[in-house]
Amino acid sequence: MKFSKLAEEMRTVRDYKKEPVEHRVIEEVLEAGKTAIGVAGGRNVSILWIDNGQEVFHQLSGKAGYYGKMIEAPHYLVIASKEFPAFMENSGYIMELMRLKARELGLGTCWLSIENEEALREVLGVEGEEKITAFVAIGHEYKGIFKKDISKQSSRLGIEEIVYLGRWGQPCTLEALEERGLARVLYHVRLAPSWGNKQPWRFIMDRDKILLTVQREERDAMRLDAGIVMLYFEKSAWEEGIPGRWQLDVGEGIEGKYGIPGEQKLVGYYSL
């Protein structure tokens, strides 16, 4: 399935059937993650598929969840990683890639926040130096007639609200993006999920590159969000015939050149 269609169809699922996912489907989801290059070479990453969902759900109530509420699912998907530069961004990229694959295979998923990593490590039996970086509920969506999603609709910023031209704060028109072949790319990028739907990332379009910044907040979720949005940009760009990969080693003094404010962190750039 084309990435653009997957991005448009992607949604958070909070109600799951109790039946387990077929082994063949599990293998396809895991393979998507294990073969991913990621944004840091995909190195030092362990991917765990959790089968005893009901038990994990009860043990983690109040210690992980979706807006503080633990989601019950037949399975959970976990990434544990050694710490290295961009390890959180890398985890966000790889986990979202597996979520997209799951959607393509007819499964539902939901990003879960980690409120107490030590409790999660104990419940899941994660040992060693690896840090649990990403946690997702996964399974077949339950669409029973008595189930009703009462959560509010997620809104999205417009394309022109997330990208600047040449320098931070300089407006970028839709026409300018169309001239560079980036209008459709940024349309799908804005659909990327983020913690609390904050959309903490912004882009600066230069002549030969587009830079990505993210809010400087202490929450690891912001770094995961950066990895997720890099995936969406990359996949959409490839689909539009703009090959390339993210460069995260940006050097010194770049923030000043582009007027990036102190509350924003420059993550990297994508060559155009």
Q: Where are the domains of the chain?
A: 3-139, 159-271
CA dist., res. 259 & res. 167, Å (int): 6
- Round to whole Å and give the CA distance between 140 and 66: 18
Query: What pLDDT is stored for residue 152 in this prediction?
Result: 44
Q: What is the DSSP secondary-structure string of the chain?
A: --HHHHHHH--B---B-SSPPPHHHHHHHHHHHHT---SSTTTTEEEEEE--HHHHHHHTBTTEEBTTBPPP-SEEEEEEE---TTHHHHHHHHHHHHHHHHHHTT-EEEE-EES-HHHHHHHHT--SSPEEEEEEEEEPBP--TT----SPPPP---HHHHEEESSTT-B--HHHHHHTT-HHHHHHHTT---GGG---EEEEE-SSEEEEEEE--S-HHHHHHHHHHHHHHHHHHHHTT----EE----SSHHHHTT--TTEEEEEEEE-
pLDDT confidence of residue 145: 60
* Average pLDDT along the chain, 272 residues, taken 10 residues at a time: 94 95 97 91 83 94 88 97 93 97 97 92 89 96 66 72 97 95 96 92 95 86 95 97 92 91 95 90
Under 8 Å between Cβ of 227 and 96: yes
- Give pTM, 2 decimals: 0.94
**Distance (Å, rounded) from C-alpha 256 to C-alpha 272?**
21
CATH 3.40.109.10 fits 3-139, yes or no: yes
pLDDT at 42: 55
Q: What is the pLDDT of residue 133?
A: 95
The rounded radius of gyration (Å) of the Cα atoms in the chain is 19
What does the pLDDT read at residue 151?
45
Same fold for the pair 3-139 and 159-271: yes
- Report pLDDT digits (tens) over 36-60: 989 986 567 999 999 999 999 999 9
CA nearest to 33, candidates 93, 74, 88, 86? 93
Rounded Cα distance between 171 and 169, Å, is 6
Residue 250 neighbours by CB under 8 Å, 6+ apart: 266, 268, 269
Q: Do 110 and 137 meet the contact criterion of CB atoms below 8 Å apart? A: yes
Give the per-residue pLDDT at 41. Answer: 67
Q: Is 21 exposed, middle or buried (0-12, 13-18, 19+ CB in 10 A)?
A: buried
CATH number of the 159-271 domain: 3.40.109.10
Predicted pLDDT of residue 146: 55
C-alpha dist (Å) from residue 145 to 106, 140, 168:
19, 16, 48
